A and B are shown apart, each in its own frame.
Chain A
């Protein structure tokens, strides 16, 4: 199974980790699996559990499949206004 490269941009409280994170997962991995990788790379950061991944204009569901290289964002709980 081929590997794909994911870049995840950080927002809000994730900014303490920098601007972004790059990692590889097998093509066909779920969004939930990608989040598990992210959490592991961020030393078990619990905020990942309450966060979602998104593409440029769409929030991804945990069971969505990642088939190709992608630029995503991880969005912690929001508080605008």
Chain B
């Protein structure tokens, strides 16, 4: 694998869409698919004020690299940028950016979807939602006991 084909990051600084596009941009690639995850102002009937993202940095970065390598193996010839925020975000804040470029659009669309779904199931990242009146809760998720089987 060319070292420049994957960028996997955990960041406590605001994520930048231009950084993602610049990384995957390639004169041989005619398609770029970008997924952006942002903090929503509601969840199951509750008004959400913001989210704190807790991350196991070393393991999350390794998981990102594993997922990217799998995507490149499945679709081939991809350039992938995968970044997740760590810390607190207000509503509208960008929590995750995945950008994939490929020669043609099908590979970009399919692999980008694969990467975000795998991130959600396998990456050691947790959300604590903050509501009105100072209430908060950690959200349930996917057990890594399942992911490792």
Q: How many residues of B contact A (CB 8 A)?
A: 33
- Interface 1/0 per residue, B39-64 and A, CB below 8 Å: 00000000000000111101110100
If A54-B56, A54-B124, A57-B59 touch, whether A77 touches B96 (CB-CB below 8 Å) is no
Q: Which residues of the partner chain B approach A54 to less than 8 Å between Cβ atoms?
A: 56, 59, 124
Which chain A residue has the least Cβ–Cβ distance from B61?
A: A57
State which size class the interface on A falls in: 20 to 34
Q: Which residues of the partner chain B approach A73 to less than 8 Å between Cβ atoms?
A: 56, 59, 124
Q: Which residues of the partner chain A approach B119 to less than 8 Å between Cβ atoms?
A: 80-81
- Interface 1/0 per residue, B118-134 and A, CB below 8 Å: 01111111111000000
**Contact, CB under 8 Å: A59 / B144:** yes
Q: Which residues of the partner chain B approach A50 to less than 8 Å between Cβ atoms?
A: 143, 145
Asked if B102 is at the interface of the complex by the 8 Å CB criterion, the answer is no
Indicate the member of A51, A56, A59, A73 with the most B CB atoms within 10 Å. Answer: A59
- Interface 1/0 per residue, B93-136 and A, CB below 8 Å: 00110000000000000000000100111111111100000000
Query: With the chains together, A50 CA to B75 CA distance in Å?
Result: 33
If A78-B121, A78-B124, A81-B37 touch, whether A61 touches B148 (CB-CB below 8 Å) is yes
Q: Which residues of the partner chain B approach A12 to less than 8 Å between Cβ atoms?
A: 54, 126, 128, 138
Asked if B140 is at the interface of the complex by the 8 Å CB criterion, the answer is yes
Q: Which residues of the partner chain A approach B121 to less than 8 Å between Cβ atoms?
A: 78
Subset of 14 A-B contacts with CB under 8 Å: A11-B56, A11-B124, A15-B138, A52-B148, A56-B59, A59-B144, A73-B56, A73-B124, A76-B141, A77-B140, A77-B142, A78-B122, A80-B120, A81-B84
